[in-house]
Amino acid sequence: MKLAFSTLGVPGTPVAEVVRLAAENGYQGVELRVHPEEPVHLGLSALERADVVEAFKAGGVEILALAGYVRVAAEGDDEPVLAELSELVKLARDLGAPFVRVFPGGGDQEREEADATAARRLGSVAPAAADMGVSILLETHDSHRAGLDVARVVATVGHPRVGAIWDVLHTWLAGEEPAAARAVLAPHLGYIQVKDVASAEDLTPLPLGSGVLPLAECLDELGPDTWVCWEYEKRWHAGAAELPGLLDAGRDHLLRLGAPKQ
């Protein structure tokens, strides 16, 4: 198991500090939130992109993924969605990130329509992403919460550079058992996002292991090269504990859960 954390847990934190937190707490990678309010965004110059690469290289930490906010199943014209996704892929290429994260965002559309829109857009960008060495990962989220939903879209695309992120909160909220989610997502899986919460009604982030999510079942039978990313949603919950003080214990908890069974 390889461990990462998302900068959603340390909103606005400078890149050098993010790298330090990862290195000092035993995380091999970081998922970078790509947003105008963050240090990493689509408007970075070539020099600024090079500085990000150098900071991670100097710290011996990998950029696991760029977590963008493209909604590939959203209603409306394809052009703005494809343009933003293309820019996200180019940023990933420049930063050396193997993955970009996208959301479904299908809203209240009929399932077939949302699926077709998402598959069409993902398939359109996939060849260029492949040329740049980047994979596009659709997260279990919003209109496609269950692993079955995301796997259906990814299988329709049928391109090796289009895969999935398993956000364990959303498959749980969808009522999907961890074994079922793992089975359908395994052929497409880029990495797993973990977190913990008190209940389906209270999604305030908690330290790993102190909530109700079935993390042990989700992390069962992981291979040594599987990435697990802690997405601590501090950005949306100002009253939550600060992530840096939780990173050490969170790492230990994940390593215990992912240890080979005797």
- Domains of the chain, by residue range, sit at 2-258
Looking at residue 224, its pLDDT comes to 87
Looking at residue 184, its pLDDT comes to 98
- Residue 77 sits at φ, ψ, to 5 deg, of -65, 150
Looking at residue 261, its pLDDT comes to 66
Residue among 168, 167, 170 nearest 142 (CA): 170
| Whether the Cβ atoms of residue 143 and residue 106 lie closer than 8 Å to each other | yes
| Distance of alpha carbon 230 from alpha carbon 226, whole angstroms | 13
- Predicted TM-score (pTM) of the model is 0.97
| Distance of alpha carbon 193 from alpha carbon 250, whole angstroms | 13
pLDDT per position as a tens digit, 74-124: 999 999 999 999 999 999 999 999 999 999 999 999 999 999 999 999 999
% of the chain at pLDDT higher than 70: 99
Looking at residue 259, its pLDDT comes to 77
pLDDT per position as a tens digit, 10-60: 999 999 999 999 999 999 999 999 999 999 999 999 999 999 999 999 999
Looking at residue 219, its pLDDT comes to 94
pLDDT per position as a tens digit, 233-256: 999 999 999 999 999 999 999 999
Looking at residue 234, its pLDDT comes to 96
CATH 1.10.260.40 assigned to 2-258: no
Looking at residue 124, its pLDDT comes to 98
262 confidence band (pLDDT: 50, 70, 90): low
